[in-house]
Chains A and B, each alone.
Chain A
Amino acid sequence: GENVEQHPSTLSVQEGDSAVIKCTYSDSASNYFPWYKQELGKRPQLIIDIRSNVGEKKDQRIAVTLNKTAKHFSLHITETQPEDSAVYFCAAAETSGSRLTFGEGTQLTVNP
């Protein structure tokens, strides 16, 4: 089955700096890669996703890149703000599959 590894587990940045979170996956059949943000005690919420026919996708301060050959994908947040502080999860899914396989999460702290 699919295995997703996520690094780092914790990340602390100063407000205005960039943050990068990296994930690797094991199953070459995976072709859908969403990122979720989870604030303390809240539900996970999708912030951006990418499919394997695309190498990069951007939405305002958030971007995701995908390297299918190396089986890794990354989340980039620019101009970080304190409200970006949360746990971020990457995930992978096969188009014909039945589940999302999640990484273990990254606790991002943005210091004012």
Chain B
Amino acid sequence: NAGVMQNPRHLVRRRGQEARLRCSPMKGHSHVYWYRQLPEEGLKFMVYLQKENIIDESGMPKERFSAEFPKEGPSILRIQQVVRGDSAAYFCASSHGRAGYNEQFFGPGTRLTVL
């Protein structure tokens, strides 16, 4: 039973480019969460999605960031026109149900570096 998968593991972009981060949840999980971790800091919630729906995006910047979880395929976190401040580790987590009831399993993360 494969765990949460994320790709790419490392991503380098120049300022102004687009970054696309992918997350495949654990088998049987339909709830996906994205968190951002700056160096030597905690994880900050960005967005919570279920299949085809964004449930809570209150932690995600309103500009340049978007997320989706289509009926088929992985969840995508998209960052347009990246800036140096976007450099961070982005973790995806999945669960069988909502955060307060069910354990969240984390993927290995995508480490984004913006030059």
Contacts and interface: CB of A to CB of B under 8 A. Distances in A.
Interface in A79-111: 89, 93-105
Nearest to A46: B103
A95 B108 contact: no
B72 interface: no
Contact of A98 (B41, B99, B107): B99
B101 A32 contact: yes
B99 A32 contact: yes
How big is chain B's contact interface, by range? 20 to 34
A29 B35 CA distance: 22
Contact of B99 (A43, A100, A104): A100
Contact of A43 (B33, B40, B101, B108): B108
B45 A101 contact: yes
B91 interface: yes
B48 A98 contact: yes
B106 A99 contact: no
A45 B33 CA distance: 15
B12 interface: no
Contacts of A46: 103-105
Nearest to A45: B106
Given A43-B108, A44-B91, A45-B106, A102 B99 contact: no
A61 interface: no
Nearest to A34: B103
Interface of B: 4, 33, 35, 40-45, 48, 55-56, 59, 91, 98-101, 103-109
30 contacts: A6-B42, A31-B100, A32-B100, A34-B103, A34-B104, A43-B4, A43-B91, A43-B106, A43-B107, A43-B109, A44-B43, A44-B91, A89-B42, A89-B43, A93-B99, A93-B100, A94-B100, A95-B101, A97-B98, A97-B100, A98-B33, A98-B56, A98-B98, A99-B45, A99-B48, A100-B33, A102-B44, A104-B42, A105-B41, A105-B42
Interface of A: 6, 30-32, 34, 36, 42-46, 49, 89, 93-105
